[in-house]
Homo-oligomer: A and B are copies of this chain.
């Protein structure tokens, strides 16, 4: 993979800034569970996902988490370079969900390139709009959907990502995705099991009726 795979307008950036971007790039391979960025780590820079999966989430004062979005191959995490944007006033945490390869672009080098290139600045806008849209989708889910529907949707999404109907997921992990308490997840899973949609066993959740689970999630 090359930088142009992340920034299709790369050739429109003036040469000195383009070369500075290429020079400044650092490459990291990290195991699952690595925190790549948090409010504590300061300005990490842009994260370009070469392979693997990242999860961006926020944490409540009591330590409860909720997933904002996930990033896959060719995705760009902009919010880990929040120092670049004075108006960006919130902290996210970015964690590798699987072993991942990421490239890091320092915020100051990127900012300089965006100052010299309207094409790159407009592209940055598109990236932000895309993350904003994902968060708005979350907001609508949280506000208007009951937990059983959200959990059904989450299990289907996980199954698609894993390519398997049997998911190795703790109730705690699911709770941290959905921004709720572990007890709530356990209760709703029991409900879905009683209705024959899933089968819950130690450390595993098997989808037993995908069709009805989908109907529930879309209801």
Interface residues on A, range: 35 or more
Closest to A62 in B: B144
Instruction: Give every chain B residue within 8 A of A165 (Cβ-Cβ).
Output: none
Closest to A138 in B: B139
Q: Judge whether A147 is part of the interface by a CB distance below 8 angstroms.
A: no
* CB-CB under 8 A for A139 and B142, given A126-B85, A128-B125: yes
- Least Cβ–Cβ distance between A89 and chain B, in angstroms: 4
CB-defined interface of A125-142 with B at 8 Å, one 1/0 digit per residue?
111111111011111101
Q: Judge whether A64 is part of the interface by a CB distance below 8 angstroms.
A: yes
Instruction: Give every chain B residue within 8 A of A64 (Cβ-Cβ).
Output: 143-144
- Chain A interface main SS type: helix
How many chain copies? 2
A124:B125 contact, CB within 8 angstroms: yes
A58:B139 contact, CB within 8 angstroms: yes
Stretch at the interface among A32-40, A47-55, A115-123: A115-123
Binding site for B on A (CB under 8 A): 58, 60-62, 64, 66, 85-90, 114-122, 124-133, 135-140, 142-144, 179
Known contacts A89-B136, A114-B121, A118-B120; can you find 4 more A-B pairs with CB under 8 A?
A64-B144, A85-B126, A85-B129, A115-B118
